[in-house]
Chain A
Amino acid sequence: MTSTFSADIALILPELILAVGALALLLVGAYRGEGSSRLVGLGGMAVILVALFFTACAGTGETAHGFNDMVVVDGFGRFMKVLVLIGALVAIPMSVDFLKRAGADRFEFPVLILLATAGMMLMVSANDLITLYVGLELQSLSLYVLAAFLRDDARSTEAGLKYFVLGALSSGMLLYGCSLIYGFSGTTNFSDLAKGIATLGEHGAGIGLVVGIVFLVAGLAFKVSAVPFHMWTPDVYEGSPTPVTAFFAAAPKVAAMALFLRALTTPFGEIVAQWQQIIIFVSIASMLLGAFAAIGQTNMKRLLAYSSIGHVGYALVGLAAGGEQGIRGVLVYMAIYMVMTLGTFGVLLVMRKDGKPVESIADFAGLGRTHPWLAFVMAAFMFSLAGIPPLAGFFAKFYVFISAIEHGLYTLSVIGMLSSVVSAFYYLRVVKVMYFDAPEGQLETPFPLASRVVVTVTGAVTVLYFIVPGPLVAIAGAAAKTLVR
């Protein structure tokens, strides 16, 4: 446990690079004034790339604890951090064109993305309830500001305010849970908690500790937008600027899911029976709500919000199953979901009609005739989100459900499959509107380059994933092994 300070610093090098980079870029922006957003944006991407390099390549690849066991760096954390960094890396260029047209291309945007990412990285490697909380708040506070970034737009400010108020409520619940856990165990540290709980035996955790865990799960469920703590999602997704929504659906969700997995499996792995039923309930409720509530939506961003609630439900199936295989399923799911959702939002971001960004499903009418390639990629994303083989989304669902079946959670799997069928309805409706409805109006061309690149790359990954599904699953499997010992 006695590690030197320099070893500790080396452990959180990617986080430090992000934080220091954000400070430097803030200074650049403050001195260069208005119009430095492009420079700061490029700088932000460079900082994220450096952090990505150090996350993926530096270190021995072994599990290491630092800062008096406050953080842990392991294969699981590295996998999730790479996903988070990719999500953040894509968010900056995708936002440039949108924000410029909205008259809000300010240099604080990339800086806030960097700080939020630093918070997410800290969440992923948290090994203590205190680190968990400060990381979560660093992330959330940046996201509240990003949601309200178009401050002259009523919907954007409303989204920011709603997110802030409900986020504060969920933080309160989370903290209350943490305090109960601390009160009944005398420690906030995950390793100590695991040791202490191991002395209690299978069912001896006591009501106090379990109530603490319930509050903790409630707070975390809010952050991943799982039912019954999902109320904020559609409003915030709809109101926020589209590139911010794309970012919300990708990086923070991955980070919060990583936190969810680690906070439940590391300290409370011994008392699975106590929290498994909560996860099963949350998972079933999310899948069903995601499937049924999205049917009536006409706004694409709201539809994607409900779809993301549903997908969180599917990912939680893996956590409910638990074990190495279940965790691997969640990791694969989050990776593929992130690619699909970034691609879908990329399509939304390239489309503009009459000087306004396209948001309603009706605006997709006739896309198959006017822009066949874009329609094809969008159709691929929709089929993939619905989980139809041979697209990537099918494999994501496959791995979580197979782990659930092997752990004997048949009811959960059957409900999951059924809700997946129901949700296919609204994904396919988008495809139907694109190919069988008459086109209305013209899309503005040329499309913004960054979003086009994102759509192309994510589209290629989604369509061609079935050729080499092995590597991702192998990496995720190795990562899951480090979490479940």
Chain B
Amino acid sequence: MTISALVFYLFACITVGSAVMVISSRNPVHSVLFLILAFFNSAGLFLLLGAEFLSMILVIVYVGAVAVLFLFVVMMLDVNFTELRQGFLQYLPVGGLIGLILLVELLLVLGSWTVIPDAATFAAARAPDIAAVSNTDAIGRIMYTQYLLPFQTAGAILLVAMIGAIVLTLRHRPGVKRQVISAQVSRTMKTAVEVKKVQPGQGI
């Protein structure tokens, strides 16, 4: 018991610490690397909770794909991040004040909460019985059966994002060499290969 508590605090502290480093480090590449560290430790937290599928997915998708993509983007784009941060100190007082007011308001809300009596029943009704199925199975049932429609609609939203990106940015430039498969296939030996007689001892 104490070991799992210790491991939890280890993972949690490193996650929070690296999250702070993500937004505070000067070098954007370091930020991405700290982000990867944060992902790894959150995966550990999921593992502690018994959600092994989510934890593995977090490592595979977020560390394996998303963070590496970030890294590529950060390295490829020459963005001057210090310039982007210039207004930060200037806006800090106002932003901090608004944040503080919101925080106080939220505390007031939480201070006098009343939850609907049936809340636990409602929440449990939608999820499969976790004792009967493995958690991968449970996620599958929730995503592909219970919430099939929003899941598919989310796919449609991604399609719209793709169409939008193409509509707004794709330009057909003239003079770009493209692959023309029919032209490639219809080439004959005559047009493709030139046979030259080379005399020994002489160049072409």
Contacts and interface: CB of A to CB of B under 8 A. Distances in A.
Q: Do A and B bind each other?
A: yes
Interface stretch (B20-28, B114-122, B185-193): B114-122
A143 to B, nearest CB: 10
Given A145-B168, A185-B122, A208-B114, A71 B149 contact: yes
B150 interface: yes
A208 B159 contact: no
Interface in A379-427: none
B150 A186 contact: no
Contacts of B153: 119, 122, 131, 134-135, 138
A122 B155 CA distance: 14
B113 A196 contact: no
B160 A196 contact: no
A187 B118 CA distance: 9
From B148, B149, B169, name the one whose CB has the most chain A CB atoms within 10 angstroms.
B149
Interface residues of B, number: 37
Given A112-B163, A186-B121, A118 B156 contact: yes
B136 interface: no
A196 B116 contact: yes
B181 interface: no
A70 B150 contact: yes
Contact of B164 (A12, A67, A144, A197): A144
A195 interface: yes
B23 to A, nearest CB: 19
B160 A138 contact: yes
A204 B122 contact: no
A211 interface: yes
A64 interface: no
**How extensive is the interface on chain A, given as a class?**
35 or more
B118 A199 contact: yes
A160 B145 CA distance: 36
B167 A19 contact: no
B119 A141 contact: no
B148 A196 contact: no
Contacts of B104: none
B163 A111 contact: yes
Contact of A115 (B108, B122, B126, B159): B159
Interface in B3-59: none
Interface of B: 108-110, 112-123, 125-126, 145-150, 153-154, 156-157, 159-161, 163-164, 166-169, 172
Given A70-B149, A151-B167, A187-B123, 8 more contacts: A26-B163, A134-B150, A137-B157, A141-B157, A151-B169, A186-B123, A196-B118, A211-B109
